[in-house]
Amino acid sequence: MTPELMEEGAQRIAAYQAAQAARVGQTESGGRAAGIGRILKSGEVDVTHGRILYLDDVSVSFDGFKAINKLSLDIAPGELRCIIGPNGAGKTTMMDIITGKTRPDTGTVFFGSTIDLLRYSEAEIAQLGIGRKFQKPTVFEQLSVFENLELALHTRQGRERDVWASMTFRLNDEQSDRLLEILHTIHLSDSATKLAGNLSHGQKQWLEIGMLLMQDPKLLLLDEPVAGMTDEETERTAELFLTLKGKHSLMVVEHDMGFIRRISDIVTVLCDGAVLAQGTLDQVQNDERVIEVYLGR
């Protein structure tokens, strides 16, 4: 989430609270809220070819430097794929390309077998069901955990400037159920009314993951999710990711090998903007080329 979105979000929640206060006595069911609930359901992604994400021969240069160099990679629906690689390997740039933040010079990037991601904007890609978590948590510190999750539903539409939608937005039953379920999943049920600013670093990270989950993404991209976490928080995050696997497809970039060992099936090693090796963690850790890269050349 960008700072501008955060600023707008803070304004919107104030408007929302005011609207809610004014709404006391109104009926709960039907009407506009039910309509919003329907819009929130996004379309299906065609995974009949066994891939939720498909990158082929993707390259991008920055000032002549090939940050991504003929990268090909795919991910199966429900898979939890771990990506490792030395600093500067192109891991974050790859996520930038998938999410539409950076356009590759050449190559193919598909979401399922029919959605050509290169034809969509960053906002549209988020709406298609690709959620991204940056390294630094960007929760609304001055709002409660509950409000942060509530707000996350609302930003899905890419209608940040739609004041009318803000004023009339409220959770329907299905959305409330999902919010409570996600609170439980991210281990924050007991902290629902707590200000996000008062959470620990790890809890903020979980809240941000919860905010992504509110949008029910099909694919989640997580860049160094356990950086700065305590051992206990890291273990809880591993458990969380293992619960998400299957329901969502996940791409996790991380340096913490203990964490990778705990959650990984297939590990992809990125180096110099391309796939250097792929396999189980043991396989890639015993690969001569990988050892060489990690020992430094």
Ligand X SMILES: Nc1ncnc2c1ncn2[C@@H]1O[C@H](COP(=O)(O)OP(=O)(O)O)[C@@H](O)[C@H]1O
Contact footprint for Mg ion (CB under 5 A): 91-92
Using CB under 6 A as the binding rule, whether residue 87 contacts ligand X is answered as: yes
Cβ 158 to ligand X shortest distance, Å: 24
Cβ 251 to ligand X shortest distance, Å: 13
Cβ 278 to ligand X shortest distance, Å: 16
| Binders of ligand X in range 179-218 (CB under 6 A) | none
Other C-beta atoms lying within 10 Å of the C-beta of residue 80? 22
Among 87-95, 126-134, 190-198, 258-266, the segment contacting ligand X (CB under 6 A): 87-95
Tokens 């809880």 belong to 236
Given the complex with ligand X, which of 89 and 186 has the nearer CB atom? Answer: 89
- Choosing from 71, 75, 92, 281, the residue that interacts with ligand X (CB under 6 A) is 92
Using CB under 6 A as the binding rule, whether residue 85 contacts ligand X is answered as: yes
Given the complex with ligand X, which of 81 and 91 has the nearer CB atom? Answer: 91
- The full DSSP string for the chain is --HHHHHHHHHHHHHHHHHHHHTTTS--SSHHHHHHHHHHSPPP---TTS-SEEEEEEEEEETTEEEEEEEEEEE-TT-EEEEE--TTSSHHHHHHHHTTSS--SEEEEEETTTEEGGGS-HHHHHHHTEEEE-SS----TTSBHHHHHHHHHHHTTS-TT-HHHHHH----HHHHHHHHHHHHHTT-GGGTTSBGGGS-HHHHHHHHHHHHHHT--SEEEEESTTTT--HHHHHHHHHHHHHHBTTBEEEEE-S-HHHHHHH-SSEEEEETTEEEEEE-HHHHHT-HHHHHHHH--
- Choosing from 55, 71, 93, 156, the residue that interacts with ligand X (CB under 6 A) is 93
Cβ 86 to Mg ion shortest distance, Å: 10
Given the complex with ligand X, which of 27 and 87 has the nearer CB atom? Answer: 87
By rule CB under 6 A, what string of x and - marks binding of each residue 44-63 to ligand X? ------------------x-
Cβ 208 to ligand X shortest distance, Å: 19
Given a contact cutoff of 8 angstroms between Cβ atoms, the answer to whether 268 and 83 are in contact is yes
**Using CB distances below 5 to 8 A depending on partner kind, what does residue 197 bind out of Mg ion, ligand X, none?**
none
Using CB under 6 A as the binding rule, whether residue 84 contacts ligand X is answered as: no
**Using CB distances below 5 to 8 A depending on partner kind, what does residue 85 bind out of Mg ion, ligand X, none?**
ligand X
Please tell me the distance from the alpha carbon of residue 128 to that of residue 44, in angstroms, as a whole number: 9
Given the complex with ligand X, which of 85 and 210 has the nearer CB atom? Answer: 85
Phi, psi of 41 (to 5 degrees): -75, 120
Using CB under 6 A as the binding rule, whether residue 73 contacts ligand X is answered as: no
Among 35-43, 89-97, 211-219, 228-236, the segment contacting ligand X (CB under 6 A): 89-97
Given the complex with ligand X, which of 100 and 129 has the nearer CB atom? Answer: 100
Binding site for ligand X (CB under 6 A): 62, 67, 85, 87-93
